[in-house]
Amino acid sequence: MRKRFLVCSAQAFGEPVWQPLADIYRVRQGWLIKVDLAGIRLEDVEITTSGKCLTVQGIRRDVLQEGSPNYYALEISYNKFRKMIELPVELEEAEIRLDYKDGMLMIRIEKEVD
């Protein structure tokens, strides 16, 4: 049976932010969350937990736009982002393993699941 997970809307102190897309899987060892962070440096990403909520936040910078204001079209979201995901288990940062490759952040949560 598939369950819906709470994906909270995002705002940073009243300032709108964009939300990256994410896939959530239940795996034998716990949970796997894939977050699409194309064009974002890992050092610009922060991951925190609080109770059952996992938060991935940071900033995507547009290095091309800084020196050239003459653009034709802009469709990619830049600036601050935040994705909050509530899982059906309590989370601890020690249970979390990260892997970042080709713009995809893989978050593995080693947690027994009922």
Mean pLDDT, 10 residues at a time, the chain of 114 residues? 46 73 94 96 94 96 72 86 94 90 95 64
Which of left, alpha, beta for 97 (phi over 0: left; psi -120 to 50: alpha)? Answer: beta
Gap between the Cα atoms of 16 and 70, Å rounded: 24
Domains, the chain, with CATH or none:
6-110 (2.60.40.790)
The per-residue pLDDT for 8 is 47
Q: What is the pTM of this model?
A: 0.80
